[in-house]
């Protein structure tokens, strides 16, 4: 048991990074359900990158920080960053209005690229911090983990409802998976 009740810098950093991932995925759901912006296949792949980073952070929080956990987070960040950069480059031509809504005059895939850059820099800094063996068992850390797992589950369900078991539409306008379920099982 530690002598003080304050989290180490590594613990706090992992928890704040997981909070950032939760915030990003939560805002994606707000945009999807409240504003009716269905995610395209590239957007879904960007979400996968954030989920991989989140699971690496969960492992750090529950099992103690380890270089392998950070490695998975960095791989997830690189995959997501590559996909978001691909989407930025698809819409970089003059006159192209881009895909989806904007926030502060930047599209969400551009913000995803910025978010990945920040998370990768944060993971690199956390990787260099000492005192990484401590596992977080606080109510805050446990709450973050439960919220993250729920968001991942809801993300999986919404993707299945949008795409079904086949490929997703390039420019989705409805939940094709839900229509498939209704036709198949009579919902």
Residues 83, 49 contacting (CB under 8 angstroms): yes
- Domain definitions of the chain by residue range: 9-185
How many other C-beta atoms can be found within 10 angstroms of the C-beta atom of residue 135? 12
pLDDT in the model for residue 1: 43
Give, for all 187 residues of the chain, the pLDDT tens digit: 444 555 677 788 899 999 999 999 999 888 888 887 888 888 889 999 999 999 999 998 888 878 889 999 999 999 999 999 998 888 888 887 777 777 787 788 889 999 999 999 999 998 887 766 667 778 888 899 999 999 999 998 888 877 777 777 777 767 666 665 666 666 5
Cβ–Cβ < 8 Å for 60, 14 = yes
């Amino acid at each position: 048991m530690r002598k003080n009740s304050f989290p180490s810098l590594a613990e706090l950093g992992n928890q704040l990074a997981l909070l950032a991932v939760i915030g990003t995925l939560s805002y994606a759901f707000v945009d999807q359900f409240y504003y009716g912006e269905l995610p395209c296949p590239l957007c879904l792949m960007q979400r996968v990158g954030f989920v991989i980073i989140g699971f690496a952070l969960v492992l750090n929080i529950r099992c103690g920080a380890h270089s392998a956990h950070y490695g998975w987070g960095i791989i997830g960040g690189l995959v997501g960053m590559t996909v978001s950069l691909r989407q930025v480059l698809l819409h970089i031509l003059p006159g192209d209005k881009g895909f989806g809504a904007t926030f502060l005059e930047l599209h969400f895939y551009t913000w995803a690229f910025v978010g990945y850059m920040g998370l990768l820099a944060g993971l690199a800094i956390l990787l260099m911090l000492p005192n990484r063996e401590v596992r977080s068992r606080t109510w805050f850390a446990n709450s973050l983990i439960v919220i993250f797992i729920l968001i991942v589950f809801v993300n999986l369900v919404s993707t299945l409802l949008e795409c079904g078991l086949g490929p997703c539409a390039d420019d989705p306008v409805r939940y094709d998976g839900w229509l498939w379920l209704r036709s198949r099982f009579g919902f």
